[in-house]
Amino acid sequence: MSGLPTLYTISGDLLAILNELEENGGELTPELEQALAITEWQFTEKAVDYGLAILNLDAMAEAAKAEKERLAGLQKFYENAKKRLSETLSGAMLALDHPKVETPTLRLFLRHTQATEIDNADDIPARFKLTKVETVVDKAAVKKAIVAGEDVPGAHLNDNYSLQIK
């Protein structure tokens, strides 16, 4: 690692200088002014480096997302092609009454299964129905109530800061 100051050490140095300034009753000595200028310049330079790194990582994430979408499209294509080939072969095996094909390298056979299809859920008797209850918190309503001064047990507002890079 090089001897260049990191963002953390620059921030620490800047805080030390500001503390010394406060101890001096706000008097900015020539030494403090020079140290402050250098530290601010270093901080700005490091902040720009971090900002560029963040933008680069964002671009890489977007590229990965695009690649993921491209691969998802390929996956869908392969799955659909497999389904069409399977349906065609299954149909031929049924039509020709050939439920099994065996060779030294491959064994194909049709297996009989049953699937339950629901034509109209309203016609199904109640004893065959499950009731699911899901409770979710309306965060927007909770925030609105807290902002209006209402005490909402189990919730509070957090102040967050989000770095914007333009």
Q: Is 7 left (phi over 0), alpha (psi -120 to 50) or beta?
A: alpha
- β-strand partners of 31: none
- β-strand partners of 100: 109
CB neighbours (10 Å) of residue 44?
11
Stated pTM of the model: 0.57
Q: Which tens digit of pLDDT belongs to each residue from 78-103? A: 999 999 999 999 999 999 999 999 99
Q: In the chain, what are the domain boundaries?
A: 7-147
Query: What's the average model confidence in pLDDT over 51-58?
Result: 85
